């Protein structure tokens, strides 16, 4: 199946790397946890806290904003700009560089719908042309077994660098601008969905452009033979894979395959398989509410005890602990520390 799709991709002008990664990205999605429509008068500085494991999205509907990145450098964002911070991280949105900041959770909010709130921090009750309008979202990026890809993403991904190559993004941004400025029925929910679509598009475009300067795990995907192995494992993680079978997928001897895999990814093939299984299990148990026994069976473990031991070795805790961990996003949202 993979060879056939690779041939199709080649005939369509796509690289084997893009073809394999696109297949693995099939289940990618962003889940919005909390969105804010912010209308604010300059001068201002808004601080967004460091929520581990959360991505942050910002769309500038009106005005000019400066983004102070987690690393400390400052980037100017004009109206129509959209940025994704896939790792989250503490950062600021300012009307001018070096202004003092106020934590976003300190602003009064009015709910617009279940996941969207409005912040009005204007000098007057009337909307002024000098006011800045921002649509901001805290999201959870779900890639399942593609977690290594998230670690390789840059701290800030800007839609501005993609418009020439992906002009279809422009109508989405224009729709966001109209919905942000208007007050039509259901605009808050529409904005949330558009933000998620644009965020997914930004990640996909980064992948299609070769993942920037990312190396390591991506290098394995750029190697057509190793890419076949990784794609096969991701398609069937519950299979009782052996090093010999994986070497056969690559089309080499066991020793050559094992050495090549370790050299490129930094881990043995079976270690990679185990980590993939445990990431998938954690996602299934927390997001999909699948029973631990079902997850263990799907991933090829003959007993709950064997699965639990493997999970603890890899993740540092037993799978039963996920039942309390899965409450964390709601707790974080209630604290509103983002």
Lowest mean pLDDT among 90-99, 133-142, 280-289, 296-305: 280-289
How many DSSP H helices and E strands does the chain contain? 14, 12
Judge if pTM exceeds 0.85: no
Mean pLDDT of 119-145: 80
User: Which CATH number is 30-208 given?
Assistant: 2.60.120.280
**Taking Cα atoms as reference points, which of 232, 171, 271 lies closest to residue 24?**
232
Side-by-side strand order, sheet with 102-103: 74-77, 65-68, 91-94, 45-48, 102-103
- How far apart, in Å, are the Cα atoms of 163 and each of 22, 48, 134? 20, 27, 20
E strands, 55-147, are 55-62, 65-68, 74-77, 82-85, 91-94, 102-103, 110-111, 116-121, 132-142
- Per residue in 229-258, pLDDT (tens digit) is 888 888 899 999 999 999 999 999 999 999
- Per residue in 195-235, pLDDT (tens digit) is 988 988 888 788 777 676 555 667 777 788 888 888 888 88
**Topology of domain 223-325, per CATH?**
Arc Repressor Mutant, subunit A (1.10.10)
Q: What is the pLDDT of residue 283?
A: 80
Domain ranges of the chain: 30-208, 223-325
pLDDT level of residue 21 (50, 70, 90 thresholds): low
Q: What is the pLDDT of residue 114?
A: 84
**Taking Cα atoms as reference points, which of 330, 307, 329 lies closest to residue 318?**
307
Three-state DSSP state, 160: helix
- Per residue in 259-294, pLDDT (tens digit) is 999 888 888 999 999 988 998 898 888 877 889 999
8 A C-beta contact, residue 149 and residue 66: no
């Amino acid at each position: 199946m993979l060879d056939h799709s690779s041939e199709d991709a080649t005939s369509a002008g796509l690289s084997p790397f893009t073809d394999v990664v696109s297949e693995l990205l099939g289940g990618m999605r962003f889940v919005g946890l909390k969105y804010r429509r912010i209308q604010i008068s300059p001068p201002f500085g808004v601080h967004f806290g460091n929520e581990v494991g959360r991505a942050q999205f910002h769309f500038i509907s009106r005005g000019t904003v400066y983004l102070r990145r987690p690393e400390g450098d400052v980037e100017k964002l004009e109206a129509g700009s959209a940025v994704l911070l896939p790792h989250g991280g503490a950062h600021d949105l300012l009307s001018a560089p070096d202004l003092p900041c106020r934590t976003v959770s300190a602003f009064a909010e009015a709910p617009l719908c279940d996941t969207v709130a409005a912040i009005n921090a204007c000098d007057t009750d009337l909307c002024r042309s000098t006011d800045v309008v921002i649509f901001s979202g805290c999201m959870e990026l779900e890639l399942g077994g593609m977690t290594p890809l998230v670690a390789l993403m840059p701290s800030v991904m800007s839609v501005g660098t993609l418009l020439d190559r992906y002009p279809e993004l422009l109508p989405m941004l224009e729709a966001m601008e109209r919905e942000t400025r208007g007050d039509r029925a259901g605009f808050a929910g529409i904005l949330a969905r558009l933000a998620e679509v644009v965020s997914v598009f930004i990640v996909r475009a980064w992948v299609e452009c070769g993942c920037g300067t990312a190396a390591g795990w991506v290098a394995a995907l750029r190697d057509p033979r190793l890419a076949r192995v990784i794609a096969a494992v991701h398609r069937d993680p519950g299979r009782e894979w052996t090093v010999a079978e994986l070497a056969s997928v690559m089309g080499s001897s066991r020793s050559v395959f094992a050495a090549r895999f370790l050299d490129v990814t930094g881990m043995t093939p079976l270690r990679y398989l185990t980590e993939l299984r445990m990431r998938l299990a954690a996602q299934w148990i927390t997001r999909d509410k699948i029973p631990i026994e079902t997850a263990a069976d799907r991933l090829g473990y003959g007993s709950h005890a064997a699965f639990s031991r493997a999970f603890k070795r890899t993740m540092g805790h037993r799978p039963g602990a996920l039942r309390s961990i899965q409450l964390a996003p709601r707790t974080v949202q209630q604290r509103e520390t983002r």
